[in-house]
Structure 1
């Protein structure tokens, strides 16, 4: 989940107080009048600890709402203070000093002090249960020390554009160290909400943290309800059972919410690259290690027609693992035009005929429809794609963790996640030393050089057909008309409730 955060380039103090911070809790009268908030979502969490489980379902509900971080990604993709009220970066970009919010406490009453922050950093670095991608994001840390009760100093091995940005996401969550042993079922963070209850497969309820150190939430409770079927979620919204659809997963149904006296529809952008992943390692078909085969697959798929068919044309063609909100974005969507004749020629060049591939996809709203469309187009060039649909938990275990697949389709929502292709152990098992070198050089370089190097990396990824980048997911949110403050863009893995308000609350 590495990235080029602008904060990493600062050599002077970056100071910005979190707006609206309050040393007092919410007014008792306001609490009595507060209402509950119900949010519809799709992917269900398999744990409450986002550091030991992959997938975006856990941080969607908990990041920034329950778990806070030193810095936060705002609605424009920029880094802002959160638990760190300010920070400085040494001229050599190796030492970060964070001044913590002195009034911040965990929901159980323990203080968010420097020792707690250091314990969380050390946990990511050393706990064997933590997922490998987060360990990789923290691998550049030499030491983290509590200079005093409210000051943390972190030293890095080499300058890094990505490290501070990673600290705004899952690798940087600050949980109460006393709760480390039970985070999977009972998370304890410092956010405006405290963990309430989890009904596996149904819902996650968050309760107002009445002693929150900052601006209190407007709601007594916030409940994420999970729907396997997009139409069921839409029906729940139409019947008044939901206040928010977190991401409309049946975009052709958006006209159902055209009554502006009842609903508000917001269409923003996201970091979500819908990727046709190809397993180029153990567990995958060896043919996918051949560049010509991967190129043939890209030429065989009419991505624009796919978007129109599966997602009602809602989305953006990108061509690589970079959304337009990243500073190194270039439109590479025309690199592989739909050309079945060229696809067949590339397969012949690769010596592959009658190729059969397993296309194993999650039963998320975009998965099965995309898989059937792609299977049909691959058949036209001589590739048989056998589609298998898996529930999310099974997909995480068999595809993501075990690598038991040839191709898959997943919306990757982590911010600035192109560097996942630089990790050969990641579930695609893409191993390109030239790409890895570009990513490493970009991470160490200054801002201008980094942007140029990242553009080269994105182009290399596209040219090598590391995957097929089908489209960029739109962020379509539906709310009741009285709800306000929902961020227009999805710039992090969080469905951030900290600014959401209601005229009735």
Structure 2
């Protein structure tokens, strides 16, 4: 059943009178997840529904990006950094009533790292040599080499703990350990979660949470204004934010995300395997025009795949500054007969709007593009899995994910051994200053190789009823964590 407020409640919201004490919320989302299994899908929309709400991992991200205890209440690491011992919380049950214990952790991590694993972030588990249940509440993870980042890796949505009894239905009827449990999924419309009365931790203030899927920006605006949606944490129509900001019924929440928005480039595609053409593309792009035209001014220019709010960020935008004359000179040398490329665009507004702007900018220097608008399922199959594309635009919202450039089989197919060696060293390094130095070198390499067109860091632009409190301002991971959300009196 579609979650609708009563006429009286809708009127209260529209007139600005108090509608307090509610224990239900409707969250707007621009994209519907293709499934609800975060261990078997790459779409950010999956985690936006289930992370911390329905599924939990050994560790979890806090709203400030910190790594906090999750299903593991504590952990220790051996002196050589290769053995992590996790102490699990007692009396934790899955939503179907089965208990969560060390065997489930062993199952989840072994499943994620198996040869036939479909986990979108399988690299997170590649360094695991073995996972052992020492006793029902103790798990020992042995790594092939030291990795000070291992608790961080375990906080990703891809590393949540699942049970062998229920994992096969996770895509459509997920069973986790979180404070909310799955109620229904009306395909094309909404997913509803309800409070888990048997949750091991503090009970959430909300009894019901409905995630309403509204892809059209005009419909999103109308839904917020009518009170049919209580909050849109990632609002798809930034052009109307000023109207909400001027209306006391609402609050605009602007923060940062981990989303590097890039013109992803197939480095093994014909012509694009030539760094001169990739460089020509980079210098043809006017980032500010894209930020202004597609995001209405919200976004921070980037010149590499690293978030500007992170301490280790290096500003390399100068390497790919807007310089159409340089683009034309490079193309005259590398492709005198011209360049024509396929530009595949997924559904987000930043991609569709940005794609039209980039196509026009590339045309100005002599690069023709054929635009195809894809739905997410098709984009995942053709672009992300099939690598059948030339260019695409997507925001990589996973936290601190520069390591994807060390994976030659990743969808943009970049293969540089020097980068892979640096990444391997980074994974074994815990000293903050040494890590910063390594990250600076890695950022420099991919910037100078023009692996992708680096556009902007996605801003988190949200709108909410002014009486809602506890929504995340920033997005250290792709999540709509409702565990601390409530209505004020």
Normalised by the shorter chain, which TM-score bucket?
over 0.9
Which residue of 1 is the match for residue 184 of structure 2? 197
1:277 deviates by: 0.5
Which residue of 2 is the match for residue 321 of structure 1? 305
Query: Partners in 1 of 2:430 and 2:312 — Cα distance?
Result: 14
Match of 2:410 among 418, 421, 426: 426
Query: Partners in 1 of 2:311 and 2:427 — Cα distance?
Result: 14
Which residue of 2 is the match for residue 65 of structure 1? 53
Tell me, yes or no, if structure 1 residue 228 matches structure 2 residue 215: yes
SS at match of 2:220: helix
Which residue of 1 is the match for residue 82 of structure 2? 94
Query: Partners in 1 of 2:85 and 2:105 — Cα distance?
Result: 12
Tell me, yes or no, if structure 1 residue 258 matches structure 2 residue 229: no
Query: Partners in 2 of 1:363 and 1:324 — Cα distance?
Result: 25
Which residue of 2 is the match for residue 373 of structure 1? 357
SS at match of 1:268: strand
Tell me, yes or no, if structure 1 residue 36 matches structure 2 residue 32: no
Which residue of 2 is the match for residue 105 of structure 1? 93
Which residue of 2 is the match for residue 480 of structure 1? 465
| Residues 251, 463 of structure 2: 8 Å contact kept | yes
User: Cα 1:91–1:135, aligned 2, differ >3 Å: closer, same or farther?
Assistant: same
Tell me, yes or no, if structure 1 residue 146 matches structure 2 residue 133: yes
Which residue of 1 is the match for residue 370 of structure 2? 386
Query: Partners in 2 of 1:406 and 1:262 — Cα distance?
Result: 45
Deviations 1:441-473 (A, max 9, x none): 111123222221111001111111000111000
Instruction: Please identify, of 263-272 and 43-52, the stretch whose mean Cα deviation from structure 2 is larger.
Output: 43-52
Query: Partners in 2 of 1:127 and 1:430 — Cα distance?
Result: 22
Superposed counterparts of 1:105-504, under 5 Å: 105-126=93-114, 128-131=116-119, 133-259=120-246, 261-281=248-268, 284=269, 286-447=270-431, 448-503=433-488
1:92 deviates by: 0.7
| Residues 111, 117 of structure 2: 8 Å contact kept | no
1:351 deviates by: 3.5
Query: Partners in 2 of 1:108 and 1:259 — Cα distance?
Result: 46
1:194 deviates by: 0.4
SS at match of 2:112: helix
| Residues 134, 170 of structure 1: 8 Å contact kept | no
Question: What do you get for the CA RMSD once the two structures are aligned?
Answer: 1.4
Query: Partners in 1 of 2:449 and 2:292 — Cα distance?
Result: 26
SS at match of 1:219: coil
Query: Partners in 2 of 1:331 and 1:305 — Cα distance?
Result: 19
SS at match of 1:67: coil
Unaligned runs of 5+ in 2: 1-20
Q: TM-score, normalised by structure 1?
A: 0.90
| Residues 346, 373 of structure 2: 8 Å contact kept | yes
1:191 deviates by: 0.6
How many correspondences in the alignment? 468
Query: Partners in 2 of 1:490 and 1:205 — Cα distance?
Result: 22
